[in-house]
Chain A
Amino acid sequence: MSLGSVGRPWPQIDAVDKVRGRTRYAADMTLPGQLYGRILRSPVPHGIIRRIDTSRALKVPGVRAVITAADLPPNGPEGKGRVPFGPYVDDWEILCSDRVRYIGDEVAAVAAVSEEAAAEALELIEVEYEPLPAVFDMHEALEPGAPVLWPERPGNIASRFDIARGDLDAARRKAHLVLEERYSTNRIYHAYLEPIAVLAEAHPGDRYTLIAPTHIPYKARVTYARGLGIDPGKIRLIVPPMGGSFGAKYELNVCMIAMLLARKTGRPVKMVFDRAEDAAAGHHRPPLHFDIRLALDRDGRFLSKEVRIVATAGARTMWTPPVVATAAHRIDALYHFEAVRAEALLVYTNTSPTTCMRGFGNAEMLFAFEQMVDQAAEELGIDPVEIRKRNAVRAGDVTIHGWRIGSSALEECLDRVALLSGFSRRKPAPRHPPASGKARGLGLAIGHHVSGYRPILAEYDGSAAWVRLDMDGRLSVAVGEPDIGQGLNTVVAMIAADELGVSPSEIDVMPVDTAHSPAAVGTLGSRATIMAGAAVKAAARDFKKKLLAFAGELLGADPGELVLERGRVLWRRGGGESGEREGGPGASLTLAELGRRWAAAHTGSPLVGQGSYRPETVLPGPDKYGNPSPAYPFAAHVAEVEVDVETGAVEVVNYWAVHDSGRIINPSTATGQVQGGVAQGIGWALMEDVAIRGGRVENPNFLDYRIPGFQDVPPMTVEFVGESEPNSPTGVKSLGESALNPVLPAIANAVYNAVGVRIHDAPLTPEAVWRAIQRRREELEAAGKEREAQ
């Protein structure tokens, strides 16, 4: 038997192309006769479009089309009229019909033979706006009398989420300590290195080909089809390699604009955002505001938790509703509570629409809650590790909402990260912030996530995969989940390779293309490795069964006496395996030969194994009780920071992350996931903040919106603990999002430990930390004077 690849560090199967510059991202592609598309965006945050005149723009040499809302095809009932549509709330328009709602809203679009001609035409489109009062802050948007963005949704409420379970009064009556705290997280930019880029072609019969990076091709085309008033099957969506996304490139208006420009001109249209456009009118992580009341008993056990959340949708609703729902109750699968209640509002403002980003609301709630856990531990005199162990879920537990924890090595994560980081050297936080110099502190936080989340789109439950052998002996695997750069294709190739007795490098993983991939919801909710991996494993087994049966026929052998290893089928016999003749023990057939002979025997058909995986979950009903994910990953992180007391600048000097993600398929890419997640968390915690003034994004570039660079991220120690997950056919759980989730609170807890001030509002900029230190000093001084006076 070969050793197998699973569990060993393996280079990404497409790494040769990546290091040679041969990976072809959307912007690298050119279609014959292609035009360049550009979008005219609203310069006002809120207003009525009184007039649009495109005549001068159309006269620019090389301009082939200018479209406005008047050019949109009908998408209403029975193919009549225009109606709003959207993935969660029907508040999308492809181009604004009569009203603009944020600086960047899509008003018109141009296709031209060159980028320069398109840019020139944009400047010549005349639009007259009648300004309307605008609202930029989510709290102000909730006030009576605030400007209303969508008259059919009064009060600016885009969506809400409510959940309650257990007897709050009874739980609260037992309280020894009640903490009431307010926390907030900020708007950040996904800041992938590849700006949004798409190509579209229109074909007769309302059909389209769209080349667009997306996590969710099959779901995205449903939204696009609704916008265009056509059947989803008319859109062929090809997913090219993606230069980063982190949640932003799910479903994008620009795809439909490109399709309409292609339809209007009869030519392929390529649209590439420039960085400023991408950063201002691409999409952002939503700001969240938390009011949390946590009741604990004398031993630090959590009794009740009440949460109120307000979040910003921006001018229309993208993927933020499930983010807010996650923020409201996913923490209940990390800790036990006797009673919980949460209400969450998603609010319109005249700002760039927000959407999901890695961590999906869970990271935000953990920023708040993991700081409160430290606050409680300090007040009750309990060790931070111990209070978490006392309250955390364990393997076999059923949570308050019915979520079933199949495996958890969270205690091991905690013990291990404490050992690695020397957490016992942590001193109590100083009562007085140090007067000068640099102060060091250690901070702990834990986190978790799901491994796929069934309620997101219950109609696409699970995954399917195909394993195929062609007549030339080529093995390939098809799944419906795009590789988003994290190395999914490598992981599925490794799983298939081990089942088939070949090297992962001998397996091609097909690009996701709705014309011939298995349908799936896609790569989101930390689901791809567990779902696609399990489907590939099942497909490989089906394939192997068919292959051995066929080989058995050819060799005259019982398939039970045949083995598949090292790229061939061998007729086993006691001890030896030599001999190449057909028809007796020791005989063998290579995959190339089997592929050729199968195709010959089946009039050219490839040999295809099919497999699928439907996870053992329970779709939560209207009462939100159920078990939405087959598995739950856990992590414990420790950050060590150095705070410059005079400037408030925080530097992360050491970082340790220990994860329970079940079985690890590829330790090398898994470690890379954690390192990348921690780096993103460091950026969010300390550096990143989308600045919006009067509705305008003021820092839409990498100079003013700084993401961590080489010198902002310390060396990190990453380890994995835990066993194979029993509810997962491959033993894996998930990792992508749990890598980021604990980072912000670990850093915030470390800052508190260093200087004794707790920062409630992310990010922890030098100014925020400096101000908190000054405030703390003033409080202490005032308290001192009061004591003297007494």
Chain B
Amino acid sequence: MNRVIRINGTEWPADVPPTTPLSDFLREHAGLTGTKIGCRTGECGACTVLLDGRPVTSCLVWVARAWGRDVTTVEGLGDDQRLDPVQVAFLELNAAQCGFCIPGLLVSARALLDEAAARGWPPTALEVRERLSGHLCRCTGYQKIVEAVLKAAENGMKEMRLELG
């Protein structure tokens, strides 16, 4: 297999031992330190990235599993000119305090919002809490994070309706 991973749309050679944790590859080889390591046991969610659009805890994923596939990290949401709507909502509502858990949460939230957009109706607060329950945050008490995801969903849905209308 071609030992290449497409990270945030760019192909990266990933010819490292196949059992290297994806999180370590991203941080140490690809220089993408936005993905955080909080436990290395898949319990805190800080290292979450999207693998072909689905959230995975990258500390538990071997790099070999990502060869030939698409990985999205927090660095892949938005750019210098334009933030992703979910980043905007987190920013505006102060959903981040220390910020350490936020990169993982943002990519999970992006996946949730993409699914919601595909099915055509926004998530409920309960659904957000359930879907993000793999992420731990010690600062915020979660309320502003839930509000931010719902706000991003609402904004996203508005845009979609405008496009349709």
Contacts and interface: CB of A to CB of B under 8 A. Distances in A.
A21 B75 contact: yes
A12 B96 contact: yes
A191 B73 contact: no
Contact of B143 (A9, A15, A675, A707): A675
B90 interface: yes
B62 interface: no
Contact of B94 (A15, A20, A701): A15
Contact of A193 (B41, B75, B98, B125): B98
A193 B44 contact: yes
Given A20-B83, A23-B99, A275 B138 contact: no
Interface residues of B, number: 53
A24 B32 CA distance: 11
Interface string A1-20: 00000000101101111111
B74 interface: yes
Contact of A679 (B34, B100, B101, B141): B141
A190 B138 CA distance: 9
A194 B141 contact: no
B137 interface: yes
B146 interface: yes
Interface string B94-132: 101111111100100000000000000000010011101
Contacts of A275: 38-41, 44
A243 B39 CA distance: 13
B99 A710 contact: no
B49 to A, nearest CB: 11
Contact of B34 (A11, A20, A672, A709): A20
Contacts of A676: 97, 138-141
A485 B94 CA distance: 11
A195 B46 CA distance: 12
Contact of A715 (B38, B93, B140, B143): B143
B34 to A, nearest CB: 2
B43 interface: yes
Contacts of B58: none
Contacts of A21: 32-35, 73-75, 102-103
B98 A244 contact: yes
Contacts of B46: 193
Interface string B6-36: 0000000000000000000001000011111
A11 to B, nearest CB: 5
A487 B129 contact: no
A421 to B, nearest CB: 17
Given A485-B139, A672-B94, A193 B38 contact: yes
Contacts of A191: 138
A298 to B, nearest CB: 41
Interface string A182-199: 000000001111110000
B60 interface: no
B91 A672 contact: no
A286 B7 CA distance: 45
Contact of A244 (B35, B100, B128): B100
A526 to B, nearest CB: 16
Given A15-B90, A244-B138, 11 more contacts: A11-B94, A12-B91, A16-B91, A191-B138, A193-B38, A193-B138, A194-B38, A275-B38, A275-B40, A275-B41, A709-B135
14 contacts: A11-B92, A12-B96, A19-B78, A192-B98, A194-B38, A195-B38, A275-B38, A672-B94, A675-B140, A679-B140, A702-B39, A709-B135, A710-B128, A710-B132
